Structure 1
Amino acid sequence: MKLRLNYRKVNPSAYKAMMALEQYVSGQIEDKVLYELLKIRVSQLNGCSFCLDMHAKDLLKLGDYADHILLLSVWREVPLFTEKERVMLELAETVTEISHQGVPTELINKVREHFSEAELVDLIMAINTINSWNRIAITTGMYPGCFN
């Protein structure tokens, strides 16, 4: 495999802008397990191997979450995930695939049962950020280990 474009080198300002957004979002979401699950699920939906590899490894650094990683794509069918995680995953999927049905008010109301409105905005920002990272990685041909 070959990296199509090393955007970090050819446009460091763009990379810096994305990192600023990432730093903001990562500083807002206190539950790091929840945050990594969000990033993994969105990366699965988008088919981003680079981000999937990175965030699965990041989640494993937080503890024994191998089952969470293995079963994340079928989270609706297993009792492993908390109700809060389920609501976040539904939101992450819906926002990522927003062209399919928009974001139903019922879902926002479910999210509000587990998250404050400020936290909801942070989740939306986190979903948008990982979607942006995925699109950059896929478009430029990034893959696990491409920068080693």
Structure 2
Amino acid sequence: MTQRINYIQQSPELFKKFLEFSTLLKSGAIEEPIRDLVSIRASQINGCGFCLDMHVKEAHIHGERALRLHHLATWRESTLFEPRERAALAWTEALTKLPEHGVADDIYERVRTQFSEKELSDLTFEVMAINAWNRANVAFKTVPGSADKAFGLDKANLA
């Protein structure tokens, strides 16, 4: 695959601000394992090879079990995810594939049983951010693994 343009070089100030936004999310109310799962699941749905590669490596570095990563695409059938993780994944899917008539009340209510209002707000920003990154990297065909050294992902030893 050949990258179309390097959006980081073309829009460095926008990239810098968006990276700051994404970095700020790490200090939010959502714990790292759920952030990893959300990023991977949205990237799977959006077909973003660059982000999927990046976030699988990050999750591995963060200690996520390989089997859970393999089960993520079929999380509804898997017994490896806790109710809070399932709620986050349902919310991720609903916001990534926005239904024509909005997010259903039953999904919202299910998520609200697992997350406080602050957590749900932060989770929503997490989903917004990964979807934006997915769109940029899909649009410009960013090559998976091309930023591993810059982001320290070579430490995952998954190549």
TM-score calculated relative to the size of structure 2: 0.88
User: In the alignment, is residue 113 of structure 1 matched against residue 113 of structure 2?
Assistant: yes
**Residue of structure 2 equivalent to 1:23:** 23
What percent of counterpart residues are identical? 35
Aligned residues: 148
- The amino acid across from 1:19 in the alignment is L
User: In the alignment, is residue 143 of structure 1 matched against residue 150 of structure 2?
Assistant: no
**Residue of structure 1 equivalent to 2:154:** none
Asked whether the 8 Å contact 1:29–1:35 carries over to 2, the reply is: no
Distance 2:30 2:122 in 1: 10
Asked whether the 8 Å contact 1:3–1:141 carries over to 2, the reply is: yes
- The amino acid across from 1:127 in the alignment is V
Distance 1:92 1:22 in 2: 16
**Residue of structure 2 equivalent to 1:95:** 95
- The amino acid across from 2:69 in the alignment is I
Structure 1 portions without partners, runs of 5+? none
Once the two structures are overlaid, the 10-residue window that deviates more, 4-13 or 22-31, is 22-31
Asked whether the 8 Å contact 2:53–2:145 carries over to 1, the reply is: no
Residue 29 of structure 1, CA deviation: 3.8
Distance 1:82 1:41 in 2: 15
Query: Which is helix-richer, 1 or 2?
Result: 1
Distance 2:84 2:147 in 1: 35
- The amino acid across from 1:10 in the alignment is Q
Once the two structures are overlaid, the 10-residue window that deviates more, 45-54 or 2-11, is 2-11
**Residue of structure 1 equivalent to 2:2:** 2
Residue 109 of structure 1, CA deviation: 1.3
Asked whether the 8 Å contact 2:54–2:145 carries over to 1, the reply is: no
Runs of at least 4 residues of structure 1 off by over 3 A? none
- The amino acid across from 1:134 in the alignment is N
Distance 2:2 2:48 in 1: 15
Residue 145 of structure 1, CA deviation: 2.6
